[in-house]
Amino acid sequence: MTALLANSKKVQFSGKAKEITASAHFRLMILLLVFLAAFTIIVGRLLSLTILEDAAPYRVSTSTFVPPRGDLVDRNGVVMARTMRGYAIRVVPARLLGDTDVLSRQLASIFPDTTAEEFSEKLSGSRPTYLRRRALPEQVKQVHALGEIGIEFPREDERLYPQRELAAHVLGYVDADGKGVMGMERALNERLADENLRATSTMLSIDSRVQAALESELQDAMISTQARGGAGIILDVQTGEVMALASLPMFDPNKIRKASMKHQNNEVTQSVFELGSTFKPFAVAAALDAGTVTDLAVRYNAMEPIKVGGFTIKDDHSQGRYLNVPETLVHSSNIVTARIADNLGKERMENMFRRLGFDERPHIELVEKGHPIWPRNWGRVTNMTVAYGHGIAVTPLHLASAYAAMVNGGIWRPATLLKVPAGEEAEGRRVFKAATSARMRQLLRMIVSDGTGRKADAPGYRIGGKTGSAEKPSQGGYNKTSLVSTFAAAFPMDNPRYVVIAMLDEPKGTAATSFQRTAGWTAAPIVRKVVPRVGPMLGVIPDEHRDVDVSELTPLLWKPKSRPKEQSHATE
């Protein structure tokens, strides 16, 4: 009986176990079905987002990754200007709790470039205002630690220039609303702000390494000669691309202050100057083109000043003899250049200058462009004086583009600050015959090897160029104490690649320049230092076994047995 009861209990227990197991299996099946349903919904939603949904929402969702303003980069991709989210510091005066005088002094200690009085004026104002439109995170932390509830720290778009002063006159800057004020920021404002274009960086023509070298040498020369200002440009003679453009004094576009506003004038594209003897090669080239000079050996009277129309044209350092064309450029004779221009005639001279663009603002993307001072009455006297760079004023950029045309085979092209893809350079227009351009390359090289430009020579780079030292106009004539010294160069002259212009505004004679102010002593050495620094960066390797063949012209130069000292700083 006991055994039967035990067996009965075992059967009951076994039945209950089966029921429990079946129930557990049922629950697991339900959970599995719920999991599968959830998985199916999730997968379906993902598929609908990636395949079935329209692409427009995706474009909108990725717009947050597009910068509010496009980057500016140099020709090698180095960032020159970029917009990032930054900190600003703003005050609401009505909410301030502490003593404003104490707070002003505390803020001045955090920001030494702003006085306590300036902060006090803002803290005591009637309206909310910015204490700083741009602040570093550590500065924000310090201000926040002051515990003043009336100071806010909004995050705003911030335009940064990581290279600081480098190429400031090229880049320009933006205002508080992010709109371009000057430079390429202004010239390309619509493009940089365009939602469809701003995701792609805008590549400029400049090379930041070349730019740094040019600015460095100009700055050193400006300091050593105590010059008022300086300007320089390096231009590709075939494409018109500006590899570097420097205007001194410089400014930092990250820190726009009232004190630096006066330095924002672009001396290369805005300011116009009488550039003196750098114009003499143009007169010779025009005469060669026109056929009024056919034999370079013909000598012209350089012994007697020219008196015409109440003016006297003379040489500051007369050679005291007749000079042929190569000697005229090598010794920079005003008298012979004027005679060549007189033979050429005003119509042909004027036409040549117009074709070089000297009668209009320089061709470049920048808005900051000066208008040349063009002669009102192009008479005989004017025709003579403009031949040696007096009576007409242009920008250094005009000069650079004109020299490029003179050495590249005779084609003038507009300058550009945008990188030009290979084979897409502007067509340009012919100004000089190819044969004339070839002859001018020889003559410019001789000026550096044997003339007033000797201090511009750098071994292996075959530099050619012309000095120009011009007194600045003043009321009633010219100021003999104010000089603009310029050297216009190209290299390598056997196959010109680049034009280099170096200019100093009102340099002073120092011991380093043998107390001379003229271009041969002040501007030419800048070129000698710049070219070896930038040449390898631009793919020009020095070769002291090559040079321009001037063997047919060398015999035309009269060389005394002993060269007088004063010839090393002859009329320029």
Of 69-83, 271-285, 553-567, least confident by mean pLDDT is 553-567
Pull the structure tokens for residue 437: 């351009």
pLDDT digit string, tens, across residues 353-402: 999 999 999 999 999 999 999 999 999 999 999 999 999 999 999 999 99
Pull the structure tokens for residue 398: 């005009």
Of 68-82, 421-435, 510-524, least confident by mean pLDDT is 510-524
Residue 125's pLDDT is 87
Q: Is residue 527's pLDDT more than 90?
A: yes
Classify strands 229-236 and 242-248 as parallel, antiparallel or unpaired.
antiparallel
pLDDT digit string, tens, across residues 339-349: 999 999 999 99
Q: What confidence tier does 28 reach under pLDDT thresholds 50, 70, 90?
A: confident
Q: CA separation (Å) from 486 to 233, 497, 506? A: 12, 20, 11
Percent of all residues in the chain with a pLDDT value above 90, rounded to a whole number: 66
Residue 509's pLDDT is 84
Give the span between the Cα atoms of 343 and 349, in whole angstroms: 10
Residue 166's pLDDT is 97
Q: What is the mean pLDDT of residues 413-439?
A: 95
Give residue 423's identity as a one-letter amino acid code: G
pLDDT digit string, tens, across residues 307-329: 998 889 999 888 889 999 999 99
What number of residues does the chain have? 572
- With a CB cutoff of 8 Å and minimum separation 6, the contacts of 414 are 240, 363, 364, 401, 426, 428
pLDDT greater at residue 211 or residue 35? 211
Q: Is residue 56's pLDDT more than 70?
A: no
Compute the mean pLDDT over every residue in the chain, rounded to the nearest whole number: 88
Residue 133's pLDDT is 80
- With CA atoms as reference, report the closest residue to 444 among 436, 390, 226, 71: 436
Q: Is 404 exposed, middle or buried (0-12, 13-18, 19+ CB in 10 A)?
A: buried
Q: Is residue 202's pLDDT more than 80?
A: yes
Residue 510's pLDDT is 84
Active-site hit among 205, 277, 318, 401 = 277
Residue 4's pLDDT is 45
Residue 309's pLDDT is 83
Residue 467's pLDDT is 96
Q: Is residue 26's pLDDT more than 90?
A: no
- β-bridge mates for residue 283, sequence order: none
Half-sphere exposure of 143 (CA within 13 A, CB side): 24
Q: What is the mean pLDDT of residues 235-257?
A: 94
Q: What is the mean pLDDT of residues 548-557?
A: 94
Residue 98's pLDDT is 83
Is position 120 annotated as part of the catalytic site? no
Q: What confidence tier does 17 reach under pLDDT thresholds 50, 70, 90?
A: low
CB atoms within 10 A of CB 191: 13
Pull the structure tokens for residue 510: 């120092």
Pull the structure tokens for residue 352: 């040549």
Grouping H, G, I as helix, E, B as strand and the rest as coil, residue 544 is coil
Q: Is residue 337's pLDDT more than 70?
A: yes
